[in-house]
């Protein structure tokens, strides 16, 4: 991932972008993504839209482009110096968007979306580091703990290793499925719905206890 947007959010009623710090009883503590880095509390009434959950409509109704990928495309083509701003002419902004996403939906992606996209990219590219693919590949190899983890896993019985691998694979598949389901499109408004931290459709299972009781007779 070029720019890590998992903790970056746009908050209704609060200009700019913010980094989520930690939740509180009244809401969540956020830090402005600017030079000041001012911290404040976003109440539960504010709509928090995480950037990594936002996507852009394409002409294919079944396909959207995640904002993380959009930012990556912008970086690959323009770096951190954009040729347009949120105050540029609509014609220039439309041309810019067409260069980044040639098949973006002209009817469902509004000019206000493109202006917001440009503003967000300028903030993110100036405050966050771009992570190259090579750096991401080298990180697991450079971690000294990796060798220890491998040695410990090899010492375990093969049956346990297979079971753990299967459970990890299933867990990863479930997480990927959940992430895919949460992919949102702009619908003319780039901010996505607030992510819910509560489990969906919780199921509580209880082992049914036998209602019969056995009595022993005294001899």
Query: Which pLDDT value is given to residue 164?
Result: 45
| pLDDT at residue 202 in the model | 42
- Answer yes or no: is pLDDT of 2 > 70: yes
Q: What is the pTM of this model?
A: 0.61
Task: Tell me the three state secondary structure of residue 109.
Answer: coil
Residue 198 confidence (pLDDT): 45
pLDDT band at 183 (very low <50, low <70, confident <90, very high): very low
Q: 59 and 104 in contact (C-beta within 8 Å)?
A: yes
Residue from 23, 74, 84, 81 nearest 48 by CA = 23
User: Do residues 47 and 61 touch, judged by C-beta distance below 8 A?
Assistant: no
**Adjacency order of strands within the sheet including 8-11:** 39-43, 27-32, 14-23, 8-11, 48-50
- More confident of the two residues 82 and 161: 82
Q: Tell me: the pLDDT tens digits for 14-56? A: 999 999 999 998 899 999 999 889 999 999 889 999 999 999 9
d(CA 11, CA 106): 26
How much is the pLDDT for 10? 95
Q: Side-chain half-sphere of 24: how many Cα atoms within 13 Å?
A: 12
Nearest 5°: phi and psi at 40? -150, 180
Residues making up the chain, counted from first to last: 219
Kindly give, in sequence order, each residue whose CB lies less than 8 Å from that of residue 204, ignoring residues fewer than 6 positions away: none
Q: Where are the domains of the chain?
A: 8-127
């Amino acid at each position: 991932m070029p720019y890590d947007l998992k903790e970056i959010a746009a908050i209704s009623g609060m200009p700019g972008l913010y980094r989520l710090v930690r939740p509180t009883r009244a809401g969540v503590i956020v830090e402005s993504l600017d030079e000041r880095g001012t911290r404040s509390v976003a109440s539960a009434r504010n709509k928090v839209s995480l950037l990594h959950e936002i996507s852009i409509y394409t002409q294919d109704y079944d396909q959207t482009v995640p904002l993380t990928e959009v930012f990556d495309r912008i970086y690959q083509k323009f770096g951190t110096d954009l040729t347009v701003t949120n105050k540029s002419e609509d014609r220039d902004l439309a041309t810019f968007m067409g260069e980044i996403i040639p098949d973006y939906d002209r009817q469902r992606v509004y000019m206000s979306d493109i202006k917001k996209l440009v503003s967000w990219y300028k903030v993110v590219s100036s405050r966050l580091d771009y992570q190259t693919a090579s750096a991401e590949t080298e990180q697991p190899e450079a971690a000294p703990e990796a060798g220890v983890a491998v040695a410990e896993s090899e010492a375990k019985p093969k049956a346990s290793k297979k079971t753990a691998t299967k459970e990890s694979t299933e867990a990863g598949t479930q997480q990927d499925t959940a992430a895919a389901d949460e992919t949102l499109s702009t619908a003319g408004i780039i901010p996505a719905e607030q992510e819910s931290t509560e489990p969906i459709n919780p199921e509580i299972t209880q082992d049914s206890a036998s209602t019969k009781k056995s009595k022993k007779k005294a001899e």
